[in-house]
Structure 1
Amino acid sequence: MNDIGIFFALAGGILSFFSPCVFPLLPAYITHLTGGKIEDSKLLVNRTTLYLRSIGFIIGFSIIFVALGASASFIGQILSEYRVLIMQIAGLLIIIFGLQMAGLLKFKVLMKEKRIQSEQKSKNIFSSILLGMAFATGWSPCVGLALSSILLLASSSDTLSQGVFLLGAYSLGMAIPFLIISIVISYSLKTIRTINKYLAKLAVVNGMIMVGLGFLVLSGQMQKISAWLSAFSLFDL
């Protein structure tokens, strides 16, 4: 499952970052993280502070995500004799989550939102790590669906390390655009406004990718494709 699973996890992380209920809040999170302020359509902040605190924030949410991936994979290993059933249930749930993300389903239970608010601003890289951990544990619903899909994939993985790699890839998918956009908005907020126009379409893309992942897991094709890719790589060597 490694190759194609990691691709889906990375794509899920990138598209989760651009979800309609997270991306518009980015300027507020960055100002809270760095202590900067919005003025003249840009974020006024010391760029060294911005880089260090952004990296700390990324480390924080990555710790939570990877820990969740390890836990999901560990539970899957315990229930290894039911692996086929777990994969089928996981595939079905991923399809449902994907349809919900795309707006084709409207289950209220999947739209509930839980956020952990931190009133104290970040003062150094260590508090930025804690803020990132709090941010991850209080994730918004649309990202929660994508994250849950990757966790379900991790629960059906063959080894514990695969679950860790999957959530590591998801974290990387979140981290790269977060760092880039954090730097961009220190020059101008126009990029935020431009991307905001396309968030609904990106949510549909995110949902359809998850639906595709769900069908691959449900049908057992995920393992076949991964095995084929592994054999192809060995043949090239």
Structure 2
Amino acid sequence: MNETVANGALLLAVPVALIGGLVSFFSPCVLPLVPGYLSYVTGTSGSDLAQARRGRVALGAALFVAGFSAVFVSGGLLFGGFGSRLQEHQDVITRVLGALTIVLGLSFMGSLRILDRVLQREVRWHWKPAMGLAGAPMLGVLFGIGWVPCTGPTLAAVNTLAYTEASAGRGALLTAVYCLGLGVPFIVTAVAFRRALGMFAFIKKHYVWVMRIGGGMLVTVGVLLVTGAWDGIVNDLQVWSADFTVGI
């Protein structure tokens, strides 16, 4: 029974985590910097990036993604573990975290200017890892730790869902899915750099919709958590998943 409940919750939370990662990638403070990151992790100048070997660029991007994934998944483990230890207070804490998610979603949409100023203060590091493949994982770690203005709102929502799962393993799974949404576009861009630049130009023209859709998603998740509707949807998915059978 508990496993079915977990499956129902994950059926709802996994797509949210994946979309959260994609929204983070296409946000105005990540997307414009992607060519610079790829140039740094491959040791290739920006002008030569399109002519660089695809294998090297893809490997550098993958190592970079592995670096920030280690940071984010560790956070998912932590939040999921907290959820399992604080189950008797989980309802109240979930509602508080849901309210915070609403605030972060409004900020992501640009509706809370005061909070925007706070979130836009990134952590600055005086030490930089070496350029090239050897430094790529560490650059990913620094990205995961210091680039809060871009990943903070969406990642906070995913960590809230990780907490509600009340399991370190499921919390890690959700943040891993978030990293998939954030990291796969990095690798795809590395492999198809020229074509990706054309898509970037289109996204930049529609940044306002990226922020509105992403912020709206966060607000919706926050409202569902605050009102308790999240649990109702999870229970419906529990019943559906319990009755669902695959015909052979």
Residues in 2 aligned to 1:122 and 1:92: alpha-carbon distance in whole angstroms: 41
Asked if 1:113 is matched to 2:122, the reply is yes
TM-score norm. by structure 1 comes to 0.91
Which of 95, 105, 118 is 1:88 aligned to? 95
| 8 Å CA contact 1:184, 1:191 repeated in 2 | no
Closer, same or farther: CA 116–228 of 1 in aligned 2, 3 Å = farther
- Per mean C-alpha deviation after superposition, the further-off stretch among 176-185 and 60-69 is 176-185
Aligned equivalent of 2:206:
198
Measured at CA, do residues 195 and 182 of structure 1 come closer, stay the same or move farther in structure 2, by a change above 3 Å?
farther
Q: For residue 242 of structure 2, what is the aligned residue in structure 1?
A: 234
1:7 aligns with 2:22: no
In 1, the alpha carbon distance for the partners of 2:53 and 2:119 equals 39
Q: Find the partner of 1:123 among 116, 120, 132.
A: 132
Structure 2 CA distance, aligned partners of 1:175 and 1:120? 20
Q: Which residue of 2 aligns with 1:56?
A: 63
Change (3 A) 1:135 1:111: closer
CA-to-aligned-CA distance 1:160-201 (integer Å, 9 cap, x gap) = 222111101111111121111222225673332232212222
**SS in structure 2 at match of 1:156:** helix
CA distance in 2, matches of 1:187, 1:210: 30
**Aligned partners of 1:98 and 1:211 also within 8 Å:** yes
Cα deviation per residue 1:57-113 (whole Å; 9 max; x = unaligned)?
111111111100111121222222110111110110000000000111122333322
Equivalent pair of 1:33/1:122 in contact (CA under 8 Å): yes
The answer on whether the counterparts of 1:20 and 1:199 sit within 8 Å (CA) in structure 2 is yes
CA deviations on 1:125-179 (whole Å, 9 max, x unpaired) are x532222112111114132111112112222223222211110111111112111
Distance 1:197 1:190, change over 3 A: same
Q: Which runs of 5+ in 1 are unaligned?
A: none
Task: Identify which range, 189-198 or 145-154, moves more after superposition.
Answer: 189-198
- 1:98 paired residue number: 105
* 1:6-64 per-position Cα deviation (integer Å, ceiling 9, x unaligned): 11111100111101111111111110011122338x63322111111111111111111
TM-score, with structure 2 as normaliser: 0.87
Give RMSD over aligned pairs.
Answer: 1.9
State the AA in 1 paired with 2:72.
F
CA distance in 1, matches of 2:136, 2:96: 37
Tell me, what secondary structure is at the counterpart of 1:113? coil
CA drift of 1:228 comes to 1.5
Separation in structure 1 between the aligned mates of residue 25 and residue 127 of structure 2, nearest angstrom: 20
Structure 2: unaligned runs, 5 residues or longer: 1-8
Matching residue within 40, 44, 47 for 1:36: 44
Distance 1:117 1:84, change over 3 A: same
Please tell me the residue identity of whatever aligns with 1:76: G
Counterpart in 2 of 1:136?
A: 144
Q: Secondary structure of the residue that 2:50 maps to in structure 1?
A: strand
The answer to whether the 8 A contact 1:116-1:137 is kept is no
Verify: 1:18 aligned to 2:26, yes or no.
yes
Identity, in percent, stands at 30
